[in-house]
Structure 1
Amino acid sequence: MFLFKVLHDLLTISLFIYNVCYIFPTEISGLKTACRNGWNLINGRCFKYVPSRMTWAKAERNCISMGGNLASVHSSEDYYDIQSLIRRVTHELKETWIGGSDAAEEGNWSWSDGTLMTFTNWCPGEPNNAGRGQHCMQMNHSGEKCWDDYGCTVKQPSVCVSKN
């Protein structure tokens, strides 16, 4: 009888662990292990490419409506993986809005999701605030496919990162 109880308890624990790890989307050490349908898991966060062309502000509002923000990029690995996502969807590397902006204070770039900007991938000579009206960040600029400050009212695709 004791052996039966031990086996029953082990089976119960095993089923619980299976459900937590494989059936329900979970987070381990703050990193996601699954994303909602239509979102892509990249380095523990969920990203979505949005092909609709919008201004930076409208793209940010759109991301917020889906439970996120325009994407923040924290490493070269993040950047290349986000580029791979864009390439998978579009078969090219289109210029695309991400969540960087210096609209609050010229030259002080921050991410719209509130995370710290510890990694940058600016193109040579950027950000340059050409015409004194470039306060939003796009990726995949020029032949180098790097970051550029750009006019926020230009309409282009975007990448969101999900908070949940």
Structure 2
Amino acid sequence: MKLLTWSFLLLAMVALSRAAAAADATEAPEEEKTNDQGKSDVVKRAAPCNQGWTSINGRLFIYISTPMTWAQAERNCISLGGTLASVHSAQEYSDIQRLILSATSASKETWIGGSDAQEEGVWLWADGSSFGYSHWCQGEPSNGYKMQHCLQMNYSDSKCWDDHLCNVRLPSVCSTRK
């Protein structure tokens, strides 16, 4: 009788574990973060191809309106299954600008995945792809104060690229492969 009871309990535990795993797979977990004012910012995780992602040139992109530092934005993109976006052509840059414009009705300064924090003047994409295309503003990258190591897009009236202080809070664009 005891063996039968233990067998039933074991089967019930396995069934509950499988049900919980299935629920986790279908619901995107939330990650709670605290901002500088001590308020909670809840960031909803989502699997790529979910609502909000836009297909551009064989990759998926999403605009994140929550202002974050570059590192926080990259960590958030990773939690979504991607990285801060890399840009590989003028057309792709224009498409990403349209994505931001459609989400905000403006051309906001926004983090993308370029950084030279590892070595001054050597720009790398967070996704590891080649940094072959650039759209720097005139006089950029300037490395002002010798501390500007992160790439923002839509800078100035020219809507070009600027190296910026990484601890500034901006919206961001994430990308991932399909």
* Smaller-chain TM-score bracket: 0.7 to 0.9
Q: Does 1:46 align with 2:67?
A: no
Match of 1:122 in 2: 136
Deviations 1:2-44 (A, max 9, x none): xxxxxxxxxxxxxxxxxxxxxxxxxxxxxxxx93321000111
Per the alignment, residue 68 of structure 1 pairs with 82
Please give the secondary structure, in 1, of the residue aligned with 2:86: coil
Q: Residue 136 of structure 1 aligns with which residue? A: 150
Measured after TM superposition, the shift of residue 130 of structure 1 is: 0.4
CA RMSD of aligned residues (A): 1.1
- Residue 129 of structure 2 aligns to a residue whose secondary structure is coil
Contact 2:88 2:133 in 1 (8 A): yes
CA distance in 1, matches of 2:73, 2:67: 8
TM-score, normalization by structure 2:
0.72
Question: Are the equivalent residues in 1 in contact too, given 2:58–2:177 (CA < 8 A)?
Answer: no
Q: 2:109 corresponds to which letter in structure 1?
A: E
Q: Tell me the number of residue pairs that the alignment of Structure 1 and Structure 2 aligns.
A: 131
**Equivalent of 1:94 in 108, 114, 139:** 108
Unaligned 5+ segments in structure 2 are 1-47
Kindly provide the amino acid, as one letter, of the partner of residue 106 in structure 1.
E
Which residues of structure 1 form unaligned runs of 5+? 1-33
Superposed CA deviations along residues 98-136 of structure 1, whole A, max 9, x for unmatched, are: 000000000000000000011000000000000111000
Paired position in structure 1 for 2:166: 152
Instruction: Give distance in 1, aligned partners of 2:130 and 2:176.
Output: 16
TM-score, structure 1 normalization: 0.78
| Large movers: runs of 4+ above 3 Å | none
* Amino acid corresponding to residue 161 of structure 1 in structure 2: S
Contact 2:114 2:123 in 1 (8 A): yes
Equivalent AA in structure 2 for residue 83 of structure 1: Q
Query: For residues 135 and 147 of structure 1, what CA distance do their matches in structure 2 show?
Result: 12
Please tell me the residue identity of whatever aligns with 1:40: T
CA distance in 2, matches of 1:84, 1:44: 16
Residues 87, 93 of structure 1: 8 Å contact kept: yes
Give, as a single letter, the amino acid of the residue that structure 2 aligns with 1:103: A
Identical pairs, percent: 58
